[in-house]
Structure 1
Amino acid sequence: MSHILVTGGAGFIGSNFVRFVLDNTAHSITVLDKLTYAANTASLQGLPASRFALVQGDITDADLVDGLVASHDAVVHYAAESHNDNSLDDPRPFLDSNVIGTYTLLEAARRHGTRFHHISTDEVYGDLELDDPNRFTESTAYNPSSPYSSTKAASDLLVRAWVRSFGIEATISNCSNNYGPYQHVEKFIPRQITNVLTGVRPKLYGAGANVRDWIHAEDHSSAVLSVLEHGSIGETYLIGADGEKNNREVVEMILQQLGQPAGAYDLVTDRVGHDLRYAIDSTKLRTELGWAPRFTDFSEGLASTIAWYRDDPAWWEPQKKAAEARYTAQGR
C-alpha cells in the first residue's frame, strides 16, 4: 500500500480519481486543495477516514508542499486553473497555479525522490481542422492558443526538464475533455444539463461546430492509475476514449435525453480563439499498458451523467447562480 498526495483533489477530475483509487486499491490518499470556487468538499464526502485526509492549502506554498511531499510515496498533480473563459478574463491566476505551483511541487519531488505524475490536457497541442484525418499523438508539436493552454504547456515542459536535468521520477498524461459527476456547472456539459433542469435554454457558442473528444472521468481515473503504477519514467501518455462529438450534437443529445426538442437551444457569441477540434490517439497507452475505457458508448455515459445531476441538485444548485452571472457578464 502506498500513500498518494493528490493536488486539486476536491475538483472535478481530481475527486473522481480519489474516489476511484479508494474504491479499487489499498492506497491511501491525502488531498491538497486551495478550495477555490471550482472545488467542492461535498465531492469528497463519505470517504473512509482511515485512508483519506484533506489539507486546505496552496500548491505555491513551498513549506507546506515540502512537508506533504516528504511524507508521501507519490504525487498526482491535478491542481490547475482550467477554465478557458476565465483565463481570457484574467490570465494571472493561471500563471500562479499552473506554472509556479507545478515548479513548487517539482522542487519538492526532487528534494525527496518522490514519484510524480503530472495531469495535463490535449489543449496544449492547439487544434485540428474539422476534416483533418489525424489525431494528436505524443509527438505532436505544442501549439497552445489560450492563456490556460499555454500555462499547461509550460507546466508540461517544466516536468520534462526536471526529468532530464534532475532525474526526478515523473510521467505526464494529456487527456481529452472529461465529463461525469462532480463537474462544476460552469463547464460545457453540466452547464447545459443544469440549464435544462432549471427551465433555461442551453447556450451554444458560435454554430456549435467545434469538436471535442469526450471521455468519462472514471475512464480518465483508471488510465491515470495505470500510468502511475506501470508507466515508464519520463514518458508521456495520451488518454482518450474515441469520443469525438461536436458541441451541437452534445447539446441536442442532452435535450433529447431530457425529453426536450433537439433544437431548443440558443446560439451565443463564440469564444475568442475557440479551438476547432481536439482528437486523441491513445494507442501508446492501450498497447504498452493494456488500458481500455469502460464507457465506450458516449450516449450511455452521458445518460448516467444526466441522471447524477438530476438526482443531486443539492451538490450543484449553490454554484449555479454565480456561474451564470459570470457568463452573463461575459455576454455568453
Structure 2
Amino acid sequence: MTPVLPVPRDLRLLPDPGHVLYRLPLRMSPHRQELERLILAWADRYGLVDGPRARQRLADTHLGELIARCYPHLRAERLAPLAGWFTWAFVIDDLYDGRECAKAARAAGHTRTTLRMLAALPMVPDGSSARGNRRTARARSMPPLAAELAEVWRGLAGRQSLQWQLRFIGHMGQFLDAFRYEAANRERRHVPALSGYTQLRRASGGITPSLDLLEYAAGQEVPALLHESEQLRTMVNKAADVVVWVNDVLSLRKELAVGEVTNGVLAVGRELGCGMQDAIDHVYRKVARDVAVFLRAEESLTALCGSWHGLGEADRAAVGTFTDGLKAWMRGNLEWGCNSRRYLEADTLRLTGRPALPGRGALPSRRPPV
C-alpha cells in the first residue's frame, strides 16, 4: 500500500504564464448554451443522475463549455449525439469514482458491464442512416447507461465510415477496460509505477474516443491511411498525453478527496521521490515537450500531404480541421478545467453511485433529446 500525501493549500496547479500551452489558439463554438441544455436533457431522459444535487453538479461541470472549446468546428446538426456521448462518459466515470463505487461496480460485474456497453455499438453499413432504426425489444431491455449510449451511437455511426466506426469502438473498449485497472489500484491504495501509468493513461482518460469525435463533429474524415502515418499517430498520441496529464494536475484535489490514487502527479512523485509541487512542475515540463513534438510532427505531416498526390482538396481540408481540433483540445481542456466546479471543489458528491445504471435497471421509454 502506497501512502498518499495531503495536498498543500498553497499548491500551484496552473502552468507558468509563459508555458507553451498558452500559445495555442483559444477557440469556442457558438453552441455552448445549447450543448449545456442537451447534456441535462440526456441525463433527465435516461435517469442518469442521483437527484437534484447531482443534477446541479452535472450543470456546474460545464460540459457544454468543454465541448464548445474542444470542438470549434462543431456543426449545428451534430450537437445532440456529441452532448449525449459526453454525458454518458462523465456519468460512467463517476460511477467508478471512489473505493465504495468501485466495489459496487465490481460486484455488478465489470466484464459484463463492458460487454453491455460495447453491444450498444453495432457496426452500421457505410453511408447508411442509423436515425430511423427501430428500437428492438433487446434495445428496450438495456440498462439506462447502455440504452443512452445506443441512442448516441445511432446518431454518430450512420454519418461515419466503417473505418472510423472500428477505430472508435476499439478506443471505447480500451476506455472501459481501464476502469478495472484503476479500481484495482484504488482498492489497494496503490499509486502505479510511472512506466505502466504512462502507457495506459490515454485509454483510462477516455481521450482517444474523444479525439475520434473531432471528425464526427466537423463532418470531415481524415483518410484512414493518414491515420496510420507516423506523423498523425504522433500528433494524436501527444495531444492525448497533454490533455490527460493536465487533467491529472487540475483534478488532483478532487481525486484525492474521493480516494483516487491513479494520478500522474502521484506517479511522478513516487518515481522521483519528490513533493507534489515538484511533481506538478515535472508534469508541465513533460507537457511542454509533448507540445513541441506535436508541432514538429505537424510540420512533417504538412510536407507529407503536399507530396502525396492521392490526396484531394477535401482530404487536405479534413487534415487541417482535425489538426485544429487537436490543438483546441490541448488548450481548451486547460481553460475548461479552470472553470469547472468538478475540479474547483474537492467534494465527494458524485453524479451517480448506482451500479444498476450499467447493469440491471429499468429503461425509461423516452425519446433522446433533439
Q: Normalising TM by the smaller chain, what interval?
A: 0.3 to 0.5
| Greater strand fraction, Structure 1 or Structure 2 | 1
Larger Rg: 2
**By percentage of residues, which structure has more helix?**
2
TM-score, length basis structure 2: 0.32
